[in-house]
Structure 1
Amino acid sequence: MTDDHASAAGAAESRPVEVAAPSDEERRELAGLGARARTAAGDVRGALALARDHVGWLPHPGTGRTAHLWSALATVAAADLTVARVLEPHLDAVAILAQADEQADAGTWGVFAAEGPGEPLRATPAGSSYVLDGRKHWCSLAGHLDHALVSAWVGADRRLFAVDLHHPGVTPVAGTWVARGLSSVDSGPVDMTTVEARPIGPTGWYLDRPGFAWGAIGVAAVWFGGAVGVARRMVAASASREPDQVALVHLGAVDARLHAARSVLQQAASALDAGDLTGADGWRAALRVRDVVADTCEEVVRRAAHGLGPAPLATDEDHARRVADLDLYLRQWHAERDQAGLGRLLLDDPVSSW
């Protein structure tokens, strides 16, 4: 790209992504957030600073301004997915603690709740608290964060705990994160040895609470923003070369799919704030939204590759990194397995569908 073209593309990447029409004040907040995310692009330390600074003014899901929260996540993702990958779990952790009527200690937070191979992380009662022992997989930025919400097993039951990641028994396992996408967001395993842990909520609460589905939709808002960033690169390309009919076909298809994804996010935000996304309804909505958004993102990446050809993937650092980041980020969607789960919900309660 020329310098002028790159400058125009950078400005577009900072522009707010609006899940629903914001107020003037909210639009200014989103614009400032997008600009700062663009400045911190690819920089984990800058992303952590952004997360610390913005957690106070971004709302929790279900408190009446969910669309603004998801617009913020999408805006950051359109600017840079590394920054979004840092911000999203930090906000999720703080929201989870609020749902449990717990106070979030100062500093940055992560959520380590995925299961991996081998023996799971175990929690053992120790007086009025617990200690954790074993290996926890998929611990994003464990070497950079201050705290994390960590799931562990107490016998045959799963429970959530708050952990100080500066505890001497916390040891990130080096050398396992070889990803090309989100390469600076090391999400390798962590070994824990007699690590003090504070229980958050009762046994099973983490998965049973309504906020689990709400957080899952928030991740979809990040994917959506990443796809918008890819689509904006397609639009920017027209500044240097008049699009032919094939390029216009790809642009039109991308616009229609992004509109559909934005619509389902907007509808889910409204339903959530109205108190309608609890229980099975919440999880059904999450599976639906994630399916629509993830499919949109994969289609946008495919259309961009067909429309733009190999040059941006080979010579445009921002675009190549965004495509690789989004491709890996989307693997948080379980694809056909999640579709099968949605199908099971349909058969269990067909009256509530369609």
Structure 2
Amino acid sequence: MTDGHHPPSPLLIPDTAASFAAVRAVLEQADAVDGLGVDIAATLDWAVDAGRRRPSSLSATWELLAAVASRDVAAARVLEPHLDALGILDEAAAAGIDVPVDPAGAWGVFAAEGPGMRLEAREDAGTWTLHGTKPWCSLASHLTHALVTAWVDEERRQLFALDLRDPAVTARTGPWHARGLERVVSAPIDVEGAAAVPVGEPGWYLRRPGFAHGGVGVAACWWGGALPLREALRTAAGTARADQLARVHLGRVDTALWAARAVLLETATAFEAGGSASEGLRAARARAVVADAVETTLTESARALGPLPLVADEAHARRVADLQVYVRQHHGDRDLARIGGDLATGADGW
């Protein structure tokens, strides 16, 4: 079950009966899952069902991700890439790209690169096959399919749909010594000539508008995952023994998460309006603001609450460990340097 600390939905967007009925239905199912985020098989079954009933709007999707993360961070980590993969397939269809695959099953998105590992795509008489090793393939041994980027030449990557049940695909079990997201194993896969279906032309995956949208969807997970820590601080600040420092910690976390919420709201509004040439920069800014707010929340809650909940409260300790690993998908100063680089070369987007 959930850890009992999640705040009520809506978290981000004012509720309307029409647009958020799907969100409420999926959350009701999440609350009924025994072992949400801990039992990976049960959580994936729920995520696949959630994908079939996913909301149609971007803001509602972020609402769903944040609300799930407020219940369990690992559950959101399972759900987010599945919804992202389905969204990419929808985006391809809307762009007139024929992708002859069945979207049923449990999907992931494997687009990371790593030193000493390379996945290559080769075409022979119209048939594409993949060869090599792909790092950071979350839950590959549990999923049925994935959208995978592979190199088609020395400079270009292309997206492919891959059946992970193909005997030519081997999912490694490690190395994975994580204390956070312990069960969401993100290890390499080895591919020895597995057939794959191209999704768009080389570079389409990064150029499409949904790439920026998906990046902020991850940030919505971070934000929702931090909310129960704010509630723990509020409980501590309301006790008879609480002093002004307890209220300072709470106030610092509250203002950081409130600012991040405002940024997520503004970003959802801008993305849904469409037509902006600076969506990548806007997404990078939003991710940076949310990541900073989550880091502030982790630091302040540790200082305010001390070691006791980290050793005596299983749900709290797991949430902190999961968030610490999950938010590392933001690359800190490197991501800020990319924002600065965009600005230095003429981008603005204000």
TM-score (norm 2): 0.91
| Alpha-carbon distance in structure 2 between the residues aligned to 1:325 and 1:349 | 37
Unaligned runs of 5+ in 1: 1-6
What is the aligned partner in structure 1 of residue 89 from structure 2? 97
SS at match of 1:137: strand
Aligned residue in 2 for 1:128:
126
Specify the alignment match of 1:4 in structure 2: none
What residue number does 1:46 align with?
42
d(CA) in 2 for partners of 1:353 and 1:28? 33
CA deviations 1:172-222 (Å, max 9, x no partner) are 112311111100000000111111100000011111111111110111101
Please tell me whether the aligned partners of residues 151 and 158 of structure 1 are also in contact (alpha carbons under 8 angstroms): yes
- Whichever residue aligns with residue 232 of structure 2, its letter is R
1:104–1:241 Cα change, 3 Å: farther
How far has the Cα of 1:248 moved from its partner? 1.1
1:248 counterpart residue number: 247
SS in 2 for 1:151: strand
Q: 5 Å matches for 1:1-354?
A: 10-13=3-6, 15-24=8-17, 29-38=22-31, 39=33, 40-60=36-56, 65-101=57-93, 102=99, 104-156=102-154, 157-237=156-236, 242-277=241-276, 279=277, 281-349=278-346, 352-354=348-350
What whole-Å deviation, never above 9, does each CA across 1:236-268 have from its counterpart, x for those lacking one? Answer: 445765532111111111111111000000001
Secondary structure at the counterpart of residue 167 of structure 1: coil
RMSD after superposition: 2.0
Distance 1:119 1:99 in 2: 29
Contact 1:14 1:34 in 2 (8 A): no
Any idea what the Cα deviations from partners look like across 1:119-142, whole Å, max 9, x if unmatched? 411111132221111111000000
Could you list the per-position Cα deviations for residues 32-64 of structure 1 after superposition, in whole angstroms to 9, with x for gaps in the alignment? 54454354132211221121111133235xxxx
SS at 2:186 equivalent: coil
Give the structure 1 partner of residue 96 of structure 2: none
CA distance in 1, matches of 2:28, 2:235: 18
Secondary structure in 2 matching 1:58: coil
Describe the SS at the equivalent of 2:123: strand
Quickly say closer, same or farther: Cα 1:23–1:242, change in 2 above 3 A: farther
Moved over 6 A (4+): none
- In the alignment, the residues of structure 2 paired with residue 305 and residue 206 of structure 1 have an alpha-carbon distance, to the nearest angstrom, of 39
Distance change (3 Å), C-alpha of 1:232 and 1:26: farther
CA distance in 1, matches of 2:197, 2:50: 25
Number of residue pairs aligned between Structure 1 and Structure 2 = 340
1:143 counterpart SS class: coil
Give how far 1:224 is off.
0.5
**Partner SS state of residue 187, structure 2:** coil
Using the TM superposition, give the Cα deviation of residue 330 of structure 1 relative to its aligned residue in structure 2, in angstroms. Answer: 0.7
Question: Separation in 1 of the partners of 2:228 and 2:315?
Answer: 10
TM-score relative to the length of structure 1: 0.90
Give yes or no for contact 2:237–2:247 (8 Å, CA) kept in 1: no
Contact 1:44 1:82 in 2 (8 A): no
| TM-fit CA distance, 1:14 | 5.8
Could you report, residue by residue, the CA deviation over 1:304-339 in whole angstroms, capped at 9, with x for unpaired residues? 011111100111111111111111111111111110
Partner residue in 2 for 1:3: none
1:139-182 CA-partner distances (Å, limit 9, x unpaired): 00000001000000112221100000100011111231111110
For residue 265 of structure 1, what is the amino acid of its counterpart? L
Identity of aligned residues (%): 44
Q: CA deviation at 1:114?
A: 0.3
Quick check: 1:34–1:79 contact (8 Å CA) kept in 2? no
- Residues 240/134 of structure 1: CA separation in 2 closer, same or farther (3 Å cut): same
Partners of 1:229 and 1:148 in 2: CA distance = 31
- Counterpart Cα distance in 1 of 2:270 and 2:90: 20
Kept after mapping to 1: 8 A contact 2:174/2:186: no
